[in-house]
Each structure stands twice: as C-alpha cells, then as structure tokens.
C-alpha cells in the first residue's frame, strides 16, 4: 500500500469514494440530506485543481485526503476500509507536508471523525451554528499546530 499524489486519471475512483462516503458525515443528524455528487459540485471542482490531494492505494484507491493552503478540505475512505488506519495514515502524510498549522471543519455530531482528529492532535478552535439544507446543526473548526 502506498500514499501518492493524485492524478487526473484517479478522478472517477475519488468521485465514487466521495459519493459513497460523504453521506456518512451526517449519520447522527436528523432528517434526510440531498448531497451533490462530487463531479456536480461546483465548489469542489473549483478548488480541486489547486488543492494538494493524496490517495491511499492498494489494488485500488481506498481513500484520499486533500488540502489547500492550511485547510484540509477532504478526508474520505471507502466504508469497507474504515477502521484499518487508512484515514490516519493519509492525515499524517498530509500533515507532514504542512509547515506550521492546519485546520478542518467537521460536524459536531460526527463523533467518529472528531475522535480521529483528536487522536492525531487536533483541538477544537471554535464551534458555530450553520444551516445546511434548511436544517440547523453545529460545525466545529479544529486546528493542529506543529512545532
């Protein structure tokens, strides 16, 4: 298994992972959410070319992590590969590329992701309310500082 830089030929695999894994971010939220597929999300597509994206690959891509400047924008792993260290290895790899500080946003209700981030040294910076698809929820900004 290797971690390597994203190539445009990886796009379909990343889009599939994102489309399958993204709904899991809302596992503790009430109600149903209609999520835009990766390829149709104009915001994601606008930053993909500028972002630094890394993939965790075995026979296929098992997960990916991307950042732009100091913000970690994506960390997604195939559901069947969770709990096997893919996300933590990807995050550690990405953090090794960043010089001082990094941050990310995570739903407060996403306890699994928050636990992973805390185990890697991220701390809560601030919490704030958001409205997502007409539903009120809370978002956390988590930061990590490197010596």
Residue 133 scores a pLDDT above 90: no
pLDDT tens per residue, range 14-37: 999 999 998 888 887 887 778 889
Name the band, by pLDDT with cuts 50, 70 and 90, for residue 147: low
pLDDT of residue 100: 84
Neighbour-count burial of 30, counting CB atoms closer than 10 A to its CB (0-12 exposed, 13-18 middle, 19+ buried): exposed
pLDDT of residue 119: 95
Nearest to 1 by CA among 53, 52, 63, 51: 63
pLDDT tens per residue, range 59-118: 899 999 999 999 999 999 999 999 999 999 999 999 999 888 999 999 999 999 999 999
Q: What is the residue extent of each domain of the chain? A: 2-145
Residue 71 neighbours by CB under 8 Å, 6+ apart: 102, 103, 104
pLDDT of residue 81: 94
Residue 53 scores a pLDDT above 70: yes
Q: What is the pTM of this model?
A: 0.92
Fold classification of 2-145 is: Aminopeptidase (3.40.630)
Distance CA 83, CA 81 (A): 7
């Amino acid at each position: 298994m290797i971690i390597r830089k994203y190539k445009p030929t990886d796009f379909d695999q990343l889009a599939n992972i994102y489309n399958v894994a993204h709904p899991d971010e809302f596992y503790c939220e009430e109600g149903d959410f209609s999520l835009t597929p990766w390829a149709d999300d104009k915001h994601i597509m606008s930053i993909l070319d500028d972002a630094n994206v890394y993939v965790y690959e075995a026979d296929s891509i098992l997960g990916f992590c991307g950042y732009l400047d100091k913000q970690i924008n994506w960390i997604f792993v195939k559901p069947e590969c969770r709990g096997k260290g893919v996300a933590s290895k990807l995050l550690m790899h990405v953090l090794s590329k960043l010089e001082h500080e990094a941050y990310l946003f995570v739903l407060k209700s996403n306890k699994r992701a928050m636990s992973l981030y805390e185990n890697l040294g991220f701390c809560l910076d601030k919490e704030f309310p958001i409205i997502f698809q007409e539903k009120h929820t809370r978002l956390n900004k988590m930061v990590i500082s490197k010596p």
